[in-house]
Amino acid sequence: MALGGKMKFHILVLILGSLLILSCGSTEKYPTNSSSLQPTGHSPHFRISMAPENWESYNQRSIASGDPRQDCQEQLRKAICLTTADENDITGAVGWNKVHCDPKSDQFLPQLMEYYDELPNQIRPTFCTLKKIFISDGIDGLEFTGGIVNADGTKPVGAYIGIQKANMSINVSTGQIVTWKEQRGVFGQGGGFLKSSAAYPQVSYNLKMSVLKEDGFYYVITHELGHVIDFYNCINSTMWVDGQKPCKASQAGWAGMSWGPHGSLDSGTPLKEAAFYRQKDLCWEGACDPNHLPKLSEALTFYQSIQKSAFITAYSGFDESEDFAESWAWYLALHFKSPNYKVVIPGHATLDMNGMFTSSPLLVEKQKFIDDLWHNPKFKLTP
């Protein structure tokens, strides 16, 4: 999802038939028409791509050398696509499986393998089985993710991600990324790409890296894999197209802990007992009017309210899907990367956010949800 506005989970539907609805665990189909559908609802960037007609041959990429790392490296070598295509070309006009890839695409393989080495063993199959990893200057923000369904639209069969090319050559921390994003989305401040103001709140995470020089690259890809996990396991029903949803997640599940009922006027609205200060006033996308956003004088109140809320970060309060992806990334950090999550509010206080996931009753419930998912034998790491 693009970190300049919204980290985007693109699930593109290239439509060739009559109405189809994807429903997890059922044979209902996804509604389609003769053109690529534009998503509606509160998750405006979700799209679903249909598998190409030659999917069976395209999908025959399994390599079994007996060395999981070597197998993953060869899978990723085939998946990497350095391209000049922009996000719209990849997700619509040209198509994710038809974009031209530079013959020198595998120059980025070493960095992707460093990310592989940082991942816990359990989640590596999700990363290694991505069908494409696009690297392009044309990507808005830092990254986006897309999902693929089978030809009759009844189940997920794969996923792809796109990475802003600049993100492959810079070393930034998670704190730099989140500071920049929250200064823009919460306070309407900050300069150009990854430029923030020292006068506004500064966020730090300090994840413990073994191989990567900085933790920012790890964090944003892990967030995107959270969307893939969401897609494969039908955790949320926020992937809307023309008012429909490709899966029917249980309201008693993830969304029910913090959000209004699916399909109701309150869908996408945080529950009163879960929300934080001015949550729905924030602007994660498009042109933002600073006059409608919290002021710097409200920063302490804002972040103290997050400490007591059901949301691990300000961005997790965007919608159910971003809530899961942020919580997923934080869950992995908490269990594998010894995070040190703080918010410095210049001239006021330094808030220790590190214990929220284990001390806030509302976030303890969410951690238990992810923990149960992690240990569930039906948990899908791959489609």
Banded pLDDT at 39 (limits 50, 70, 90): very low
The rounded distance, in Å, linking the Cα atoms of 311 and 320 is: 10
Share of the chain above pLDDT 90, in %: 52
DSSP-derived pairing of the beta strands 8-9 and 143-149 = parallel
Question: Which pLDDT score, from 0 to 100, does residue 287 have?
Answer: 65
Question: Which pLDDT score, from 0 to 100, does residue 201 have?
Answer: 97
**CB contact at 8 A, 350 and 342:** yes
**CB contact at 8 A, 202 and 344:** yes
Banded pLDDT at 210 (limits 50, 70, 90): very high
Q: Please identify which residue in the block is written with the tokens 């994840």.
A: 207
Task: Please give the model's pTM, rounded to 2 decimal places.
Answer: 0.86
Question: Which pLDDT score, from 0 to 100, does residue 27 have?
Answer: 31
The rounded distance, in Å, linking the Cα atoms of 217 and 65 is: 28
**CB contact at 8 A, 185 and 201:** no
Tokens of 74: 């060869």
The rounded distance, in Å, linking the Cα atoms of 291 and 302 is: 16
User: How many of the other CB atoms lie within 10 Å of CB of 28?
Assistant: 16
The rounded distance, in Å, linking the Cα atoms of 322 and 224 is: 10
Residue 142 has pLDDT above 90, yes or no: no
Residue 162 has pLDDT above 50, yes or no: yes
What is the per-residue pLDDT across 198-207, written as a single tens digit (0 to 9) for each? 999 999 999 9
Question: Which pLDDT score, from 0 to 100, does residue 40 have?
Answer: 29
CA-to-CA separations, 129 to 74, 80, 171, 228, in angstroms, rounded = 11, 12, 25, 11
- In sequence order, what are the beta bridge partners of 159? 147
Question: Which pLDDT score, from 0 to 100, does residue 379 have?
Answer: 93
Residues 4-18: what's their mean pLDDT?
A: 41
Residues 147-156: what's their mean pLDDT?
A: 80
Residues 32-48: what's their mean pLDDT?
A: 40
**CB contact at 8 A, 330 and 312:** yes
**CB contact at 8 A, 300 and 349:** yes
Element (H, E) at 111: helix 109-118
CA-to-CA separations, 147 to 14, 95, 186, 383, in angstroms, rounded = 12, 12, 29, 10
- Tally the residues of the chain: 383
How does 93-105 read in b/e, with b if 16+ C-beta sit within 10 Å? eebbbebebeeeb
Residue 146 has pLDDT above 80, yes or no: yes
Dmax of the chain from CA atoms? Answer: 60
Within 8 A by CB and 6+ apart from 87, the residues are 8, 10, 136, 138, 139, 140, 144, 162
The rounded distance, in Å, linking the Cα atoms of 123 and 115 is: 12
**CB contact at 8 A, 195 and 152:** no
| DSSP structure class, residue 89 | I
What is the per-residue pLDDT across 234-278, written as a single tens digit (0 to 9) for each? 888 655 444 445 566 666 688 888 987 655 545 578 999 999 999
User: How many of the other CB atoms lie within 10 Å of CB of 233?
Assistant: 21
Tokens of 1: 């999802």
The rounded distance, in Å, linking the Cα atoms of 128 and 113 is: 10
Element (H, E) at 90: none
DSSP-derived pairing of the beta strands 132-136 and 156-164 = parallel
| DSSP structure class, residue 290 | G
Amino acid letter, 270:
P
DSSP 144-192: EEEEEE-TTSSSEEEEEEEEEGGGGT----HHHHHHHHHHHHHHS---S
